[in-house]
Amino acid sequence: PKDDPTDLQRKATLAEGARRFAEAAAKNSGSAAVYGWLKAAEAHERAQEPAEAKAAVESAMKVGAGGMAGFVADSAWVGVLVGDKRNDEALALLRTMSDKNSDLLAEESLLRLAELQLSLDKKTEAKATLEELNKRFPTPSRAEEVASLAARIGSSG
C-alpha cells in the first residue's frame, strides 16, 4: 500500500504497529520472532523510519532461526548490508548461508553470492562460486537463471 508521507496520523499508526510487532517478536523465538521483527521492519519502512527498519531486520537475523525463517531473515539482512555498501559482510553472510543450508536454500545462497560477486567486479570469485553451485547442484532448480549468470560471467570484463 502506498502511504502518504505527509499523513502524520497514518505515520503514527504505522509506528505503533511496528512497536507492537517488535514487542510480540521480543516475546517469541524461532520463526514467530523472525516474522514479528520483519513485520516491524516493514511497518517502519512504510512509516519512513529507515534506521528503525534496519534495526528490526537485524533483530530478525539475530534470532538465529533455522530453516526457511532463518534464510528469510538472513536474506533480508544481506539486503541491508548491500544497501549500506557493507559488501564484504554481505558476501560473508551469503557464504555462511550457502554452507549452513541445504537443497534450495543453499542453491539460492550460492546464486545470490555469485551475482553479488559479479556486480562487485569480482569475476574470478563469481566464476568459482558458479562452479561450486554447478557441482553441488548439477540440475539446478532455476537452470535458466544459472545459465544467464554463467553467460554474464563469461562475457563480463
pLDDT of residue 102: 86
Reported as a single tens digit per residue, the pLDDT across 86-105 is: 999 999 999 999 999 989 99
- Length of the chain measured in residues: 157
Matching residue, cell 514467530? 32
Q: What is the pLDDT of residues 39-78, one digit of tens each?
A: 999 999 999 899 999 999 999 999 999 999 999 999 999 9
Task: Give residue 146's pLDDT.
Answer: 94
As given in the structure block, the three cell numbers for residue 144 are: 535458466
Higher pLDDT pick, 25 / 154: 25
With beta carbons less than 8 A apart as the criterion, state whether 81 and 115 touch. Answer: no
pLDDT at position 157 is 41
pLDDT in tens, 101-157: 989 999 999 999 999 999 999 999 999 999 999 999 999 999 999 999 999 998 654
Count of CB atoms situated within 10 Å of the CB of 123: 15
Rounded CA-CA distance 63/70 in Å is: 8
- The stretches of the chain forming alpha helices (DSSP H) are 8-26, 30-46, 50-62, 67-83, 87-100, 103-119, 123-136, 143-155
The label of the residue with cell 511496528 reads: 18
* C-alpha cell of residue 87: 559488501
1 pLDDT above the threshold of 60: no
For residue 53 the three cell numbers come to: 527498519
CA 141 to centroid of chain Cα atoms: 19
For residues 109 and 104, what is the distance between their CA atoms, to the nearest angstrom? Answer: 8
